[in-house]
Amino acid sequence: MDVTLRQLNVFVAIADHRGFGTAAAALGMSQSSVSHSLASLERAVRGELMRRTAPAGPTPLGDALLPHARATLAAARAFAAAAAARHDTAAEGAITVAVPPTAAHGLLPRLLRLWRDNAPHVEIRIFEGFAEEITQWLESGTVDAAILIDPDPVPRGAVPVATDALEAVMRGDHPLAGEDSIALADLLDDPLLATTSGAESQLRELHALAGVPYRPTQHIRELGTLLCMVEAGLGVAVVPSLAGSMLPGGLTLVPVLPRVERRLLLTGPATRPWHPHVTAIRDLCRETGPAT
C-alpha cells in the first residue's frame, strides 16, 4: 500500500479542522491539493475516509483509521526530532502537552515558565481536556505528552509534577468558612455539588474513608460552572486544592478530613517511543521536583 506522510497529514487536518478549505489554510496548501491528497489516500485504502459535507466529518472507515494516522504522524515527528538531536541537542521543535483543567489553572503557569527558561528551543502547545480524553489523545498520537492524575499503573518514565489534596469550597459567609479544617460529615447539611473533571474517583474515596454515603445533588463537568453554582449559594463542593487559583473573591477553600491526595504525573505515551523534547521537559521536572 503506497501511503505517504503528506496524505496522512492532510487526512488528519481535514478531520481536525472539519473542512477542506480550513485544512488547506492550516497546511499552507491549495484546497485542490488537499482534495487530491485525500482522494489518493482513499484509493490506497479502498474506501471513503471523509464525508464531503459542511462541516466535514470522518466516515466509519475514517474513524477507524484516524487514530493510526495520528500515531504514525506522531512517530514520524519523534523520528525527525531524534535524528536532529544527534547533531544538535538544542534543535528547535514543537510538542503538544495535554493537561486537565485544574492543572491548567493551578500548575501549568509554573511548568511553562520552567520549560521556557530552561528549554527555549522547545515550543509547547497545550491541549486542555478531561481525564478520559487525555488518555486517548496520548495513545492515539493527538498529543506528545500529558499530565495524568493518579494513573494506575504509573507509566514507565513518568515523573510527579504536583501533589494536591481535596478541599471544601464554600462561600465566605458559610458558618464553616473560617475553620482550619473540617470533617466531611460536617458538610452533610449542605447540598453537595460534585465535579467530574479529574477528581470524582478521589471524591468517592473520601466518602468511603469517612463512612459517608456519596450522594451529590448535581454532577457538573465544567469546574468553572461548579464554582459559579457555589458562589450563587446552591451548595458546597469538594475540589482539588489546585483549583484555588480559579476561585472568585467570594469563595474560600477549607481542608477536608480525612485527607485524600492526588498525584499529577507528566508522561509520554506508553505504546511508542517518546519525542526527545518530551524527555527533555520531563527531565527538567525531575530536577525541580513536584509542586505541593
Query: What is the model's pLDDT at position 29?
Result: 94
For residues 125 and 94, is the Cβ–Cβ distance under 8 A?
yes
Beta strands 50-51 and 57-58, pairing class:
antiparallel
Instruction: Summarize the confidence of residues 276-283 as an average pLDDT.
Output: 95
Dihedral sign (CA 181, 184, 186, 189): positive
Counting Cα atoms < 13 Å in the Cβ hemisphere of 18 gives 2
Mean pLDDT, the chain, rounded, equals 92
**Cα–Cα distance, 166 to 185 (Å, whole number):** 14
Contacts for 62 with CB less than 8 Å, ≥ 6 apart: 11, 15, 48, 49, 50
Alpha carbon 178 to its chain centroid, in Å, reads 34
Per-residue pLDDT for 198 more than 80? no
CB atoms within 10 A of CB 187: 22
Measured distance CA(130)–CA(235) in Å, rounded: 23
The domain 1-71 having CATH identifier 1.10.10.10: the answer here is: yes
- CB neighbours of 97 closer than 8 A, spacing ≥ 6? 124, 125, 126, 127, 143, 144, 145, 146, 147, 266, 281
pLDDT tier, 131 (very low <50, low <70, confident <90, very high otherwise): confident
Please tell me which residue, 92 or 252, carries the higher pLDDT value: 252
Cβ proximity of 162 and 279 under 8 Å = no
Share of the chain above pLDDT 70, in %: 99
Please state which CATH number belongs to domain 164-262.
3.40.190.10
- Residue 105 CA, distance from chain mean position: 12
d(CA 285, CA 266): 8
* Chain segment 96-125, per-residue pLDDT in tens: 999 998 888 889 999 999 999 999 999 999
Task: State pLDDT tens for residues 146-163.
Answer: 999 999 999 999 999 999
- Which residues of the chain does CATH 3.40.190.10 include? 164-262
Q: What SS3 state is found at 236?
A: strand
Start-end of CATH 1.10.10.10 domains in the chain: 1-71
Cβ atoms of 41 and 10 closer than 8 Å: yes
Place of cell 477549607: 254
pLDDT of residue 87: 76
Is residue 155 reached through a cis peptide bond, with omega within 30 degrees of 0 on the bond before it? no
**What are the tens digits of pLDDT across the range 218-275?**
999 888 899 999 999 999 999 999 988 889 889 999 999 999 999 999 999 998 899 9
Task: Band the pLDDT of 9: cuts 50, 70, 90.
Answer: very high
- Percent of the chain past pLDDT 90, that is, above it, reads 76
Task: Specify the pLDDT at position 212.
Answer: 93
Q: Which segment of 11-15, 30-34, 130-134, 181-185 scores lowest on mean pLDDT?
A: 130-134
- Binned at pLDDT 50, 70 and 90, residue 199 comes out as confident
Q: Which three cell numbers stand for residue 57?
A: 466529518
